[in-house]
Structure 1
Amino acid sequence: MDESHIDAVSALRVRSWQSAYRGIIPQSHLDGMTAAEDARRRRAWFASSRDQVVDLVAVDGHGDTVSGWICFGSYRGETDAQAPGEVYALYVDPARTGRGIGRDLLDSAHHHAAAHRFSTMQLWVLRDNTRAREFYAAAGYVADGAVEVDMYGETAVSELRYRRPLMSR
């Protein structure tokens, strides 16, 4: 991904949150999300993490519409050579889920991560996001018992850590 994709990725991310997290994240938070604000934060993140993070996008057959995005790198910014990798984000256009786009992006991330020293990948998924949990389980990820709680106003939302070994290349 290059910087030219940021606006499209941000719009995709906001649409995905508003679709996938309805009933999990407070609606007031989802309604308050904007692609413009997300793009502002994403540009800052992109500039500061360019050498530590890999962003891949899936585009439609014409190459002009972003249909999916995955972002990954070292687990929570670890620099230790033995640290696992982490999928920070994976989103697919809600109108295109179920078409293999997410699976293709995840497979690409696994191949890239294995080629660049990671033997394990980890990720965090919302406990109540059943569809995502099933998706990651089908891709070989297993919950390892770690739990984080994020607060959205007065609402506590639990995330579970999943992990998966990678094949060495």
Structure 2
Amino acid sequence: MVRVREMEEADIEAVSAVRVRGWQAAYAGIVPQGHLDAMTVEDDADRRRQWFRHPGRESGDLVAVGDRGPVGWVCFGPSRGEVSGVTERVGEVYALYVAPDLIGTGIGRGLLTEAHAAMTGRGFETSALWVLQDNLRARRFYERAGYRADGATQDDVYDDVTLSELRYRRAL
């Protein structure tokens, strides 16, 4: 049985492990392997602790907790960019990761549902997110959750390799 709750500082190591292992699994063959191999749970946890303690942090964090502790994490908050032609308040799902061995079990869907409810509670009317163009599994997941690509793109560079991201949106 997995339940979703607000993330606590004590969850940081487990969340970082989910995030790093999630990156390494989801982006294998997309992001350069050297970049994925260089990721460590310790470095991620150090960054996450600084960010978690940041005064005025506007993001929300939820964890999916099972018998072995946190097995999924979602982070969301105000949209970090302009969404042209949209007048309503836009929130953004910044990150969503599930332990690789538990992908497809409904944990990601549960986290996303709870994030949507929390964003609605904060007054957001639309949710946006960015997904790597070549991450077809994630794109299908978000499309099943009602997201659609809105035509916006941005590029990220990993070890001198440029990868395109697509922005997806859905009404809350």
Q: Same fold by TM-score, threshold 0.5 exceeded?
A: yes
TM-score, normalization: structure 2? 0.90
2:131 is the counterpart of 1:143: no
Distance 1:154 1:51, change over 3 A: closer
* Mean Cα deviation higher: 46-55 or 149-158: 46-55
Which of 20, 29, 33 does residue 26 from structure 2 map onto? 20
| CA apart distance, 1:49 | 5.8
Aligned pair count reads 162
Q: CA deviation at 1:100?
A: 0.3
Poorly superposed stretches of 4+, deviation over 2 Å: none
User: Which residue of 1 is the match for residue 105 of structure 2?
Assistant: 99
Cα distance change of structure 1 residues 114 and 57 upon mapping to structure 2, 3 Å threshold: same
Asked if 1 retains the 8 angstrom alpha-carbon contact of 2:89 and 2:123, the reply is no
Using the TM superposition, give the Cα deviation of residue 153 of structure 1 relative to its aligned residue in structure 2, in angstroms. 1.9
Per the TM alignment, residue 50 of structure 1 is displaced from its structure 2 partner at its CA by: 5.8
Say whether residues 1:70 and 2:97 are aligned partners: no
2:54 corresponds to: 48
Structure-1 residue corresponding to 2:95: 89
Which structure's residues are more often helix, by fraction? 1
Aligned partner of 1:57 in structure 2 is 63
* Residue 10 of structure 1, aligned match among 16, 20, 40: 16
Evaluate the alpha carbon distance shift between residue 93 and residue 50 of structure 1 in structure 2; reply closer, same or farther with a 3 A threshold: farther
Distance 1:3 1:50, change over 3 A: farther
Q: Tell me which amino acid in the other structure corresponds to 1:20.
A: A
Unaligned runs of 5+ in 1: none
Q: Return 5+ residue gaps in structure 2 as ranges.
A: 1-6
Q: Residue type of the partner of 2:32?
A: P
Matches within 5 A, 1:102-141: 102-141=108-147
Q: Which residue of 2 aligns with 1:32?
A: 38
Equivalent residue number for residue 4 of structure 2: none
Which amino acid counterpart does residue 122 of structure 1 have in structure 2? A
**Alignment partners' CA distance in 1, 2:139 and 2:109:** 13
Q: Residue 148 of structure 2 aligns to which amino acid in structure 1?
A: V
Distance 2:55 2:80 in 1: 12
